[in-house]
Each structure stands twice: as C-alpha cells, then as structure tokens.
C-alpha cells in the first residue's frame, strides 16, 4: 500500500514526538513493503507565529489530500495565560476537526500489567481495565454560539438529531465489535441537549438488540470510572463531557503519555496522542513518545492493516517490559530513557521482527 501522510507536529513537545511517530511508521512500512510519503504542515501557535492563523488554508489542503494525518499537539503558555487573546492555538485544532468533518473521536483506555503500580488507583481496581470512549467532536459548546463581555458570557450546547444519530451509530458499532456493552453518558436530568441524546439512543437501541445499552449521568460516570473502570466496554458522549472523561481515563493507565486517539468522519482521519503540548518539557527530550507511536498503530488498523498495528503494539509492550521507559513511567530502580532512546529501541525491535 502507498501512504500519503500529512504530518502536523505543532507546538511544545509536538516536534519531538512527531519524529517518533514518523520513525516507527517508516520502519513498519519498510518491514511490510508499503511505501510512504510525508508532507509537513504548520498548525497551532507555530502557525500563528508564522502566518497569523492556527490552521491555515495551505495546511487544510495538505490534510484534505492526504490518506491520513499524523498530528502531535498544539498549545502555548503565552496564549493560555492571556484570556483576551483573539487567536489561540486550540482554535486550529477545532478548525481542523470541523473542516475535515471529524465528528467521532475514538480514545481507547487500557492498562499494561507492568505499569499497574503507576496508576494512582489501586492495582486491583485498574487491572484488566480496557474500554473505548467515543466522543462527539464537532458539536456542542465547543462550536455553539458564544458571547463574552466584561460582565457576562455564554456558550451554547447545540446538537441536532443528525449529529447525535451518527455518533451513536459509531458507538453501537464499536460495541458490536467488542463485548456488546454500550454506556450512553449524558446529563439528561438537567440539560435539554442531553435529553435529546437519551431519546435518540433509546430509539436506536432496537436496531442493535445484541448490545446491552445502559445510561449514566456524567457525574456518576466520572465516579464509576475511578471506582470500577472494568465496568465499561464502550462509552459514547458529547463533546465537553468526552473531553473531560477521556483525560480522567488517562490516570487509569498511569500516564497521559500512553493514550492514543483517532478522529474520523467525512474526510481524512487524524491520529494523535491525547496529552497536549507539555510546553515545560519542550526541547528536553524527556516526553513519552508511546501515545504518538500507538496512534500510528491505530492509523494502520484504520486501513485494516492489523498485523502492522499488532507489530507496533507488541514493540511498545516489549519496551515497557524491558524497562525502556521515559521518566513519567520509569520505576525508581531504573534510569529513565529519553524520547529518542525509547523511539530507537522500538524501531530496532520492529526492524528485527520476523514476519
């Protein structure tokens, strides 16, 4: 297969982990006889500094023409600390999602046996936790009508039937592929938008009679994720709730640096880590590249190249078992490895694998 990949490194640690993703993808393509070409484009604070737009038209066109986007991170403290800034790096991320029609964000949460002690939760609680959060990505408060002045502000949590039906369909179909258990997360006791979500989900239930469907308020879901994460198989929710719950889910595995994601929809799919730009670590070569590398595994799996994805997952697991780890997940009795050292070890593992 021939891949045309758009690479958006972005800000902070983005350029460092982006190199890790590209190195691993190139190694796997070489191993399996695929060809790959990379086209690099700017986004986030880097793009604001260069052209004044966090997602310029040229970047959009590169993404639109690609088979997939390998994205890293956006965000910069100079914008975080300025609430009056009119242009922000995160606006580029939202623009990319909207312009590419990426309405479904797929975020798997899983644990690694050798890292259970790194979770802030008890080992017996997190062991065998393995679920997927499907987050609606182009609606809700992030994209609804907004207003702000010095005395009042509002964000509109707007959803249509079409938007809700298509993301629920993704949730039901993922549940069919897994343990046939779907949890619809809302706040239907308070929010009208959530009541529409629940109404439509109940209408769709009979279309998937094999799926056990339950409903949970978001505050209860946040608590249940900490008390009993193994309860969940597939959860589906709206944009804001999904953003918060998936970051909460990262503590289950022990580090945000372990969790990849895929954003899919109408145009080019995007594969990215969930951890953000971590500007404090920029240039220090200490960032965990595994979420970016596992995003490459999701990229291959999106194209039904399951063996390629499995090779990456096996390499990641082997690196963890061998204590080839960055500082965020390294044990006290082993020295931490740098971003490039972890990447090089995984690339060497892939190069030495037998097909």
Active-site annotation holds for 219: yes
Smallest CA-to-CA distance from 135 within 102, 161, 111 is with 102
Q: How far is residue 21's CA from residue 40's CA, in Å, rounded to a whole number?
A: 13
Q: What is the DSSP letter of 274?
A: S
Catalytic residue among 19, 46, 186, 187: 187
Catalytic residue among 128, 219, 321, 348: 219
Catalytic residue among 159, 243, 337, 349: 243
Catalytic residue among 60, 142, 174, 349: 142
Active-site annotation holds for 332: no
Active-site annotation holds for 46: no
Active-site annotation holds for 142: yes
Pairing of strands 260-264, 68-73: unpaired
Catalytic residue among 80, 130, 155, 247: 247
Active-site annotation holds for 187: yes
What Å distances lie between residue 175 and 16, 132, 212, 229, 314, CA to CA?
35, 9, 9, 16, 24
Smallest CA-to-CA distance from 165 within 244, 236, 271 is with 236
Smallest CA-to-CA distance from 213 within 183, 177, 246 is with 183
Longest dimension (CA), the chain: 64
C-beta of residue 16 within 8 angstroms of C-beta of residue 279: no
**SS3 helix, strand, coil % of the chain, rounded to 5?**
50, 20, 30
Active site residues: 142, 187, 219, 243, 247
């Amino acid at each position: 297969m021939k891949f045309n990949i758009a690479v958006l490194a972005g800000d902070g640690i983005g350029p460092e982990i982006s190199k890790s993703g590209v190195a691993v993808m190139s190694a796997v393509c070489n191993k399996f006889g695929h060809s790959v070409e990379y086209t690099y484009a700017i986004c986030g604070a880097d793009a604001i500094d260069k052209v004044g737009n966090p997602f310029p038209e040229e970047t959009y066109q590169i993404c639109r023409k690609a088979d997939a986007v390998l994205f890293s991170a956006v965000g910069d403290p100079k914008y975080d600390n300025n609430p009056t800034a009119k242009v922000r790096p995160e606006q580029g991320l939202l623009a990319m999602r909207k312009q590419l029609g990426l309405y479904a964000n797929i975020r798997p949460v899983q644990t690694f046996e050798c890292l259970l002690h790194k979770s802030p939760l008890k080992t017996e609680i997190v062991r065998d936790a393995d679920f997927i959060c499907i987050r609606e990505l182009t609606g809700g408060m992030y994209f609804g009508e907004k207003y702000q002045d010095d005395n009042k502000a509002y964000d509109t949590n707007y959803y249509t039937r079409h938007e809700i039906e298509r993301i629920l369909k993704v949730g039901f179909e993922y549940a069919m592929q897994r343990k046939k258990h779907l949890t619809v997360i809302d706040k239907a006791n308070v929010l009208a938008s959530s009541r529409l979500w629940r109404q439509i989900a109940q209408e769709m239930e009979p279309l998937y009679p094999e799926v056990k469907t339950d409903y949970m308020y978001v505050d209860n879901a946040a608590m249940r994720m900490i008390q009993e994460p193994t309860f969940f198989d597939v959860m589906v929710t709206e944009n804001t709730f999904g953003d918060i719950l998936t970051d909460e889910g990262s503590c289950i595995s022990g580090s945000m640096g372990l969790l990849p994601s895929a954003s899919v929809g109408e145009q080019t799919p995007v594969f990215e880590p969930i951890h953000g730009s971590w500007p404090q670590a920029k240039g220090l070569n200490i960032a965990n590249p595994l979420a970016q590398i596992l995003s490459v595994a999701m990229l291959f799996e999106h194209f039904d190249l399951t063996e390629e994805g499995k090779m990456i997952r096996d390499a990641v697991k082997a690196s963890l078992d061998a204590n080839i780890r960055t500082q965020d997940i390294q044990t006290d009795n082993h020295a931490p490895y740098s971003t490039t050292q972890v990447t090089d070890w995984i690339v060497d593992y892939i190069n030495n694998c037998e097909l």
